[in-house]
Amino acid sequence: MPGRWLAILSLFALIATEVCGQSPAQRTLDEALSGTNAIALVLDGQSGRPMAMVRGEEAGRLASAPGSTLKPFFLAAALRQGRVRADTPVVCHGNLRIAGRDLACTHPRDENILNAERALAYSCNEWFANLATRFSPAQATDVLGEYGFGNRTGLRGDESAGFVGKPASEAELQLFVLGVMDVEVTPAQMARGYFRLSQQLNDVPVVRRGLEGSIAYGMAHNAATSGVTIEGKTGTASDAGETWTHGWFAGIAARGRERVVMVVYVPHGNGADAAQLAHRFFEMWEQTAAR
């Protein structure tokens, strides 16, 4: 399996050269991200084959804190391993602080008792900080390893492997699961991870519904697009030593029988910005299908 993934993702650089605006997906992505400094990748949702990318070199080399985009991976693992149930409730007080970090939730305050689905849709930090305590540090790092984080994808010879540390305390474990400490990933790794997740969603329908809810009414609603079914997640984080944030969108989208996995990374931005750029792509993608 690792060899298969290396082979698939080693095609990125070659395809970036060959398509160079020639394929419909590449033209659509180029137009959607025109005038921005965003990095983006689109994979075929059935095979994982790269279809389009913008700033492909950086997609394999730039590693940043992933923020809340990690939450679906930990929820899927916890559900499969019996660490949590779909109806496990957590009361969100809205003022979460961990090791001096302000991680207050921004979802509606009338949503203060959340189950797994609603917690993922609203990206509730308190729910997932509670979930983190159900893993040991080694178990948490193993979850990310299952999805390929911490390993090179084969995109480029000078590609970054990112970084997956091992938390040393409960607070560090919570920050790790929330994607803000001891973990850095590349956009290429994120795309690979969400492709693998997409293959598991039938087995963890709570995660699917949570990602659908994130688009319909939750934190990734900027990506919502008429005519396109989307299961997606946003993330906003800062890297060590930086005061500004960067934004992520990662998700799976379908128009009819065609499916894609898309990742957008926005330097000096936030998850809402990344979701808006994803919406641009999905809207143009849907329009090409109607022609």
Q: Provide the pLDDT for residue 8.
A: 45
User: How far apart are alpha carbons 163 and 146 in whole angstroms?
Assistant: 14
The pLDDT of residue 75 is 98
pLDDT at residue 7 in the model = 43
**E strands in 72-176:** 90-91, 97-98, 101-102, 113-114, 163-164
Report pLDDT for 16: 44
The conformation of residue 168, written as its DSSP 8-state character, comes to: -
Taking residue 247's Cβ as centre, other Cβ atoms within 10 Å add up to 26
Q: Rounded mean pLDDT of 118-143?
A: 98
pLDDT of residue 14 exceeding 50: no
Q: 77-92 burial, b if ≥16 CB within 10 A, otherwise e? A: bbbeeebbeeebebeb
Name the residue among 267, 17, 1 with its Cα closest to residue 155. Answer: 17
Is 58 in a helix, a strand, or coil?
helix
- What CA–CA distance (Å, rounded) separates 243 from 240? 8
pLDDT of 199? 97
- Tally of structural domains, the chain: 1
Question: Is the model's pLDDT at 70 over the cut of 50?
Answer: yes
What's at 25, amino acid-wise? Answer: A
pLDDT at 266: 98
Tokens coding 151: 């390993």
What are 165-208's pLDDT values in tens digits?
999 999 999 999 999 999 999 999 999 999 999 999 999 999 99
Backbone phi, psi, residue 160, to 5°:
-85, 145
For position 110, what pLDDT does the model report?
Answer: 87
Task: Flag the least confident range among 11-15, 31-35, 83-87, 150-154.
Answer: 11-15
What is the 8-class DSSP label of residue 89? -
- Give the structural domain span for 31: 2-263+270-290
Mean pLDDT of 19-35: 85
Confidence of residue 19 (pLDDT cuts 50, 70, 90): very low
Give the pLDDT confidence score for residue 288 in this predicted structure: 82
DSSP tag of 153: -
Neighbouring C-beta atoms of residue 240, cutoff 10 Å: 9
- The CA dihedral of 77, 68, 28, 261, to the nearest 10 degrees, is 0
- Runs of H (alpha helix) within 91-169: 116-122, 125-132, 137-146
- Residue 290 pLDDT: 55
Q: Would the pLDDT of 152 be above 50? A: yes
Q: How many CB atoms lie within 10 A of CB 156?
A: 18
pLDDT for residue 3 is more than 50: no
- The CATH number given to whatever domain includes residue 35 is 3.40.710.10
Burial status of residue 21 (CB atoms within 10 A of its CB: 0-12, 13-18, 19 or more): exposed
pLDDT at 194: 98
End-to-end CA distance of the chain: 38
Average pLDDT, the chain: 92
Least confident stretch, 68-82, 94-108, 153-167: 153-167
Predicted confidence (pLDDT) per residue in 108-127, tens digit: 888 899 999 999 999 999 99
Q: Is the pLDDT of residue 161 over 90?
A: yes
| pLDDT of 9 | 45
Output 234 or 291, whichever has higher pLDDT: 234
Residue 150: pLDDT band (50, 70, 90) is very high
Q: What pLDDT score was predicted for residue 22?
A: 63
DSSP 61: H
